[in-house]
Chain A
Amino acid sequence: MEHEVEQLYREAGRQFAPAIARLARAFERDAEKARDLEQEIHCALWTSLARFRGECSLKTWVYRVAHNVAADHVAKAVRGPARVPLEEIEELPGSTDPEAEAAERLVLQRIAQLVRRLPALDAQVIVLWLEGERARDIAEITGLSEGAVNVRVHRVKTLLAGHFDQPEQEGAPA
């Protein structure tokens, strides 16, 4: 049994380790705490894989564990600014340098800021969208309906379009 768990764990690591690292960095600004969160996710995954019976794909399982552990981490963290639902956010968190706004890296930094301001479910949808996941997969991972996922992704695209020249074809969820 332990051998199977280890095999699954290694397979999950091979496929998803970078995505989990990005997720941890998106949810936790502090680099050291982000690393701790990443390891906390690895531990939760290792423990949970003993219960994996293939009812869903390994990807769904890994993302569910990762996002739920990250949401618990955020809930336990020292209270930061109040969380504001996506539909109430009119613009991306501000930047004082209009010229630099053109740079994609800055866009990503601002999206990461946005993620940290959102309630857990909104943040989870955004991070999965950034990973290029389809609405159907995001819905399976989060437990939201596809419609609810699409509404959130559309809202983020609108936010982005308001501030950046965002090509229309990018990352449209199916």
Chain B
Amino acid sequence: MSISFIKHETNIDFIGLRKLAFMLSAAMILIGAVSLVMKGGPRYGIDFAGGVILQTKFSGPTDIDKVKKVLEGANLPGLVVQQMGKEKDNEFLVRTSTTDDSSASIHVTVAKALDEGFGNDKYEFKRTEMVGPKVGEDLRGKAMEAMYFAILIIAIYISGRFEHRWMAAGLMAAGLFAGITTLQYFHAPQVWLVFAALLITLGLCWFLRLNYALGAIVALIHDVLITVGLFSIMNKEFDLTIIAALLTLIGFSLNDTIIVYDRIREIRGLKTGETLPVIINKSVNQTLSRTILTSGLAFLAVFSLFVFGGAVIHDFALAMLIGIVVGTYSSIYVAAPIIISLTPPDVEVPAAPAVSGKGKLKAKTA
């Protein structure tokens, strides 16, 4: 006895819905972008901005306002006090920004203020972290670099694997390398380098007609942008673990995309004479039950982490949860339909007239 959510092969016209989906995606990205602009960029945690955090637990019931009041007297730069976990935990996160090399002593200043305000046996530091501005800057650069390398290598891999065009993929890598080296020569800032790298990658994919890679990368950027935007709207901090979550969701979303691409490749290999839109729709439909199952199970697993995993890993889990939903959506509605928008009709071997109603397609086959 077994169950299945999808009894028979579905035949949903995903391709027909793509305009609607594109609009939805654009709206989501735009809302996130507006939030980012209004808040002056992502809210960096101490990993990237530098600063000090002290996770402080009090032995008895403690009011957050009192903690704030006691610490405000200590003249700490950029002081933020947050409640952690449940109220009965009496746990607070004290955060300050950093002033160059004096960060090491902030810890002592906070301890002194708490000693005076509460008594030195009434609290303990469960975690203290200090990241100097230099290390923060380095970590930010490294995180950007990691994102960029992930996208580049994935573009090369997909082009080679799905279009058998390792040469073109190699060419793209070479072009990208040349472009970035030139920019580095002019000492362009890291953020610009990453943006430039993305633009070059997209441009080269376009120029070299690496449509699968382009579709996958657009989907990935889409996922990352929406997740980052939602994090900004929710006022969550960006730190190293969030970057790890973003990279992981890149891998995860890509996983879904590849399953669909794989099916497209398989059906194309059968040479049924169907047009690309039909093939893609078929592929998405045939893999739909798997996509829903896997994403659902992954969601279930990460949800368990989100609920039970503790405060330290909470935001990581949240980013993953968002990422799983967005990534699944993008594999179905972004990565695959984009191939149609990009592929000129003569690339396929169309015997039957197009069904998607695209004038261009019809004109070519007529």
Specify whether A and B are partners.
no
Binding site for B on A (CB under 8 A): none
Binding site for A on B (CB under 8 A): none
